[in-house]
Chain A
């Protein structure tokens, strides 16, 4: 979009068109920024309507908040990393070692974008729960007393679920980028004696960096704000900021606290996002 702007920059005729931005901007301002401003305002106002920063500071120091903050960051960073890895591996195979039906499979993976996220958790309980297919199967086969696989109600369960739900967001742009990779480069590299792994590392990946960054940033935003999965797994140690907002606002009727956390959550999303873009930019995008 910056490119487009530059391309058209020379047309500096003072076009009346500059005002065309007003309608969509106004719509967004009304439907999004106005409520957002109210949330921010509420974060600094107590129930009686007085300005109040003390509550903000108190929340910042509360243990439940700090725990949730750490959980949110851990989970989103781990899940984003997972999405990048899974997306990359699947994308490489789909694009460069295709098999009959790989197109359909790619499409099927796309539909995971449409699933309400908590459903994956539901499915995971059936699969990996202590009485799920995997554990029940293992216990039956090896006549074990205790379920051998136990990660579902931990951070890792959440991360795995988020990887399932969000790796399509990495896969999509990656497949697009892979289709643009100059096949000549791959062939030139293999003629020069490079084996597949080296080609992936040195030829394909550098070309896919922008797509990885785009997909990764999307994942980061979505995982920081993920709600359904965490709500449904509902294990101790995986309370994240969005879940905290939910429970503060809904169950505990502490709307100001919910707003404070929301403000911090937004700042965190944008901050992590900015950091990621910055780091990725350094890596050469």
Chain B
């Protein structure tokens, strides 16, 4: 609607194709290609093979997928609950306190992941809370790293929610808890789903902190990918990356459908 002439539109699309191709498509395609590459020492791979996939699948790929999914789900769920809870509770604080607390809930996003990992390891290798060597510490690390994003998303949704709905609900005799459960939360659902999707995606790609804290048998996908590529096994790493991309994409699309259904109804 902005560009009226057809040649103009085609030119614009060409710009888009170029940017998108260079920045997004090419890297993804190259990872895909190398996951299928036999040897790649010229412009193009010397041959194609699915061997890397079968290697990866025979290896601990499924365990890694599971570890990543479980971690992502639990950490995102915890972040969602706590972020939503915090955003809701902040509404009934007075303005100054709400602002200060709002900033505090935001600070975790300003801390480098390596520091989060080390900090957690130091803090929770001591009694009374011994978390090191457990799966919980991975969840905690992911939770800390994504909590600010969840909180931000939910707060934004809440600010956009017309107060009319809640007021009408109370005028009809709905007590706060009933109102929360039957009106506020359902209306927030699209934002909750979006927040969950974002934190899940972030969690799926987390490396810096996970590497420091993961317990035995709980190697997430990024950690396995990193250890493969770090030992020079680039092609297997690429194959595992494609698994990561596929899993995440499927999940995000699934979530979107849930959200779509929610907003439609």
Query: Do A and B associate with each other?
Result: yes
Q: Which A120-137 residues sit within 8 Å CB-CB of chain B?
A: 120, 122-124, 126-127, 131, 133, 136-137
- A232–B87 Cα distance when bound, in Å, is 37
Whether B248 lies near A2 (C-beta < 8 A) is no
> B112: which A residues are within 8 A, CB to CB?
225, 227, 241-242, 245, 262, 265-266
Q: Interface size of A by Cβ–Cβ distance < 8 Å?
A: 97
A contact set with B: CB distance below 8 Å: 1-9, 11, 15, 17-18, 20-21, 23-25, 27-28, 30-36, 38-39, 42, 86, 89-90, 92-94, 96-97, 99, 105, 107-120, 122-124, 126-127, 131, 133, 136-137, 140, 160, 163-164, 167, 183, 186-187, 190, 196, 199-200, 218, 221-222, 224-225, 227-228, 232, 241-242, 245-246, 249, 255, 258-259, 262, 265-266, 269-270, 273
> B85: which A residues are within 8 A, CB to CB?
20, 23-24
> B101: which A residues are within 8 A, CB to CB?
21, 25
> B172: which A residues are within 8 A, CB to CB?
none
B241 interface hit (Cβ, 8 Å): yes
- A116–B140 Cα distance when bound, in Å, is 19
Residue of B whose beta carbon sits closest to that of A9: B95
Whether A116 lies near B222 (C-beta < 8 A) is yes
Secondary structure at the A interface, as helix, strand, loop or mixed, is helix
| Distance of A101 from chain B, by nearest CB (Å) | 11
Whether B98 lies near A2 (C-beta < 8 A) is yes
> B118: which A residues are within 8 A, CB to CB?
39, 245, 249, 255, 258
> B16: which A residues are within 8 A, CB to CB?
89-90, 93-94, 97
Assuming A6-B95, A123-B28, is B245 touching A35 (CB within 8 A)?
Answer: no
Whether A113 lies near B198 (C-beta < 8 A) is yes
> A25: which B residues are within 8 A, CB to CB?
86, 101, 104
Q: Which B214-265 residues sit within 8 Å CB-CB of chain A?
A: 221-222, 225-226, 229, 234, 237-238, 241, 244-245, 248-249, 252-253, 256
